[in-house]
Amino acid sequence: MADKPNLLVIGGAMSAPMRDALAEVFTIHKLFDQDDQQAWLTANGADMPSVLTDGHWGVRPEIMKHLPNVKMISCYGVGYDNIDAADCAARGIMVTHTPNVLNAEVANTALLLWLATSRRLVRDDRFVRSGGWLKGSAPLTHSVDDRKVGILGLGRIGEELARRLAVFNADISYHTRNKKPESPYRYYPSLVDLARDVEVLFCITPGGATTHHLVNREVMDALGPDGTLINVGRGPVVDEAEMVKALQDGRLGNAGLDVFEEEPKVPEALFDMDQVTLLPHVGSATIETRKAMGDLAVNNLLQFQREGTVISPVPECQES
């Protein structure tokens, strides 16, 4: 089958089962396997009607400009802040992502980070391994029960997180741009006011210009020396330099972080802090959830190729 349509794969998200399913329909070209990506794009970019990418790489402008005939971009991930979806929609390019199938996993990761941070799981694990327990007891920690909890971003994942927080008898409030009239949780039009009134702030918004440094110094100071910040949304939503200073000064109590401003770089100042738990952007990274995401990303491409329709378009492309 010499004339299968071309599929450009950006990033390293394509698993072997994804590749096998896609190879039946497409001729696959992996950008990151090319010795000179720029030269390859210049020579071949115009022949790529379909793209598979992930939430980290997206299709950045320097690549997009080499794809004048792209018709379909499938993003393996729900966050697509590195794809200019509004521009794609205006140009008739379909963009899909993988919502819902990862809600439970990311909510679990948020809870994992909160429990680990509050109960000093990593510190106490080190304490046992280093023989500290033979010399005395570990310091006490704070309970996660009966806490005032704020959720910044009560979307698909935030709602799932809120449901799971009921187990801990959490008193839940939230901030979004639009109040959710049907929500049982307390709405705060101001993020600073929310941060002032809660003990734990979970951040689970998309990235991009509208959320950049939403969690700034004022928000962190409002959360305060006993407060805990958990970020499983996107790194740039939190002003990382200000967060490091706030943790160093004790103006912010604790942090549990899955995402960072310049991944995979993490500020080294955080490495020695017992009050901080660090994860390498693994919010959805279980075998089961990544399979579900892969199936959806692949099926969007296959369905678009066969019928011109998709399963899960990004909101910007839902009308087009």
Q: For ligand NDP, which is the closer residue by CB, 71 or 97?
A: 97
Q: What is the DSSP letter of 275?
A: T
Among 5, 206, 224, 267, binds ligand NDP (CB under 6 A): 206
Angle in degrees, CA 270, 273, 277, rounded to 5: 75
Residue 123 CA to its chain's centroid (Å): 25
Contact 258, 109 (CB under 8 A): yes
| Residue 13 found at the interface with ligand NDP (CB under 6 A) | no
Residues recognised as catalytic: 234, 263, 281
* CA-CA-CA-CA torsion sign (83, 87, 90, 92): negative
- Minimum CB distance to ligand NDP, residue 218 (Å): 15
Peptide bond into 206 cis (omega under 30): no
Q: What residues numbered 139-168 form the site for ligand NDP, per CB under 6 A?
A: 153-158
Q: Residues 50-89 vs ligand NDP: string with x where CB under 6 A?
A: ----------------------------xx----------
| Residue 99 found at the interface with ligand NDP (CB under 6 A) | yes
Residue type, 121: L
| Residue 227 found at the interface with ligand NDP (CB under 6 A) | no
Contact 300, 96 (CB under 8 A): yes
- Minimum CB distance to ligand NDP, residue 155 (Å): 2
- Minimum CB distance to ligand NDP, residue 114 (Å): 14
- Minimum CB distance to ligand NDP, residue 39 (Å): 32
| Residue 49 found at the interface with ligand NDP (CB under 6 A) | no
Contact 201, 223 (CB under 8 A): yes
Among 281, 289, 290, 304, binds ligand NDP (CB under 6 A): 281
How does DSSP assign 74-141, residue by residue?
Answer: EEESS--TTS-HHHHHHTT-EEE---STTHHHHHHHHHHHHHHHHTTHHHHHHHHHTTGGGT-PPPP-
| Residue 177 found at the interface with ligand NDP (CB under 6 A) | yes
| Residue 292 found at the interface with ligand NDP (CB under 6 A) | no
How many angstroms separate the CA atoms of 200 and 194, rounded? 10
> Segment contacting ligand NDP (CB under 6 A): 135-143, 162-170, 182-190, 200-208?
200-208
Terminal CA-CA length for the chain: 32
Q: Which residue is nearest to ligand NDP (CB)?
A: 155
Among 82, 118, 205, 277, binds ligand NDP (CB under 6 A): 205
- Kindly give, in sequence order, each residue whose CB lies less than 8 Å from that of residue 270, ignoring residues fewer than 6 positions away: 244, 247, 255, 257, 276, 278
| Residue 204 found at the interface with ligand NDP (CB under 6 A) | yes
Q: Which residues bind ligand NDP (CB under 6 A)?
A: 78-79, 99, 102, 106, 153-158, 175-178, 204-207, 210-211, 214, 232-234, 258-259, 281, 283-284
